[in-house]
Structure formats: C-alpha cells, structure tokens
Structure 1
Amino acid sequence: MKKRKTPLRKCVSCQERSDKKTLLRIVRTKEGDVFLDHSGKANGRGAYICSLACLEDAIKKKSLSRALNVEIPDEVYDKLREELKKYEK
C-alpha cells in the first residue's frame, strides 16, 4: 500500500516547516472573526503557529496580521494566548 504524503505548513513567526498536525491553525472568516481552529478544517484564511513563544513574536512583528490580511485587536490576541496556554500544557 502506498504511503500518503503528510502536508507541511510554515509557522508565520519562525518560518519553520512542520507537519500540519503539529501546528496550530488560526483562522480569519469572511466576516472578519479571528479564532483558533481546533479541527484544522474551518472555512477561511488560515495561518499556522507552532508555539506560544512564536505567537508572541508574531504579535511583535505583526506577521500574523499580515498573514490573515486583517488588523487584529488586542482582545483577540489575549483570547489566542489563553487558548494556546491550554495546548502547551
């Protein structure tokens, strides 16, 4: 039986390529909502982050805002931080 290729994605902060399942996907919907996509299949424009440290770096460099083509408010960043802390543990 043929082995399937695993999809690789790049972290918007550190630019490191990794398996899609190991990265966390952040999505912007058509309505402009930004949230952490737990399933990895939500409709909308997606960007990948590998860790909480990379999220902090992406906030400083505004690379997450550029990747999603939207200005992200501080409240959304706070929600993303809290949700990523759950995944880090």
Structure 2
Amino acid sequence: MSDLKTQFEQAARESTELPSRPDNQTLLQLYALYKQATVGDVNTKRPGMTDFVGRAKWDAWEKLKGMTTEAAMKAYINLVNQLKAKG
C-alpha cells in the first residue's frame, strides 16, 4: 500500500502540472477519485440547488460510493498518466 500511496501522491502533484487543462468532466472525475481515495464515501450533505459546482462535484463523488481506497488510487493514477500522455 505504501508504494501505491507514493504513486498516488506523485500523481496528485503531477495533476497540477498537466500540459493542458482537462475538460470539466475529466476534472470532475479527478476530483471524485481523489476524494474517494483520501476520504472514502461521501460524508456530507448534497449542496443546495444554487451551488452548481458543488453539486456537480458531490454527484461525481457519490457515483464512486463503495469503491475501495486502493481502487480509487489506481484509477486516479491511471487517469493522470493518460492525461500526461495526451499532452
């Protein structure tokens, strides 16, 4: 797990240095995978109707409910690597 955690932390750093900004769907996916890997299942109430960004983030995270920390870390690492390869 510690090797996976190290790879995950490296991917998190690299996600802020991508050559181009990912589209909004990909950003939501990155956010949700990161939250699932670091926090686990959603543990907050869904934001109100006027908080469009907050609701989108919450919904993306909620879709990953039940995913293990390890699986979320691996998926996050893979997604960052794909984005780096796209350039």
Select the structure that is richer in helix.
2
Which TM-score applies when normalising by structure 2? 0.30
Q: Which has the higher contact order (CA 8 A, sep 6+)?
A: 2
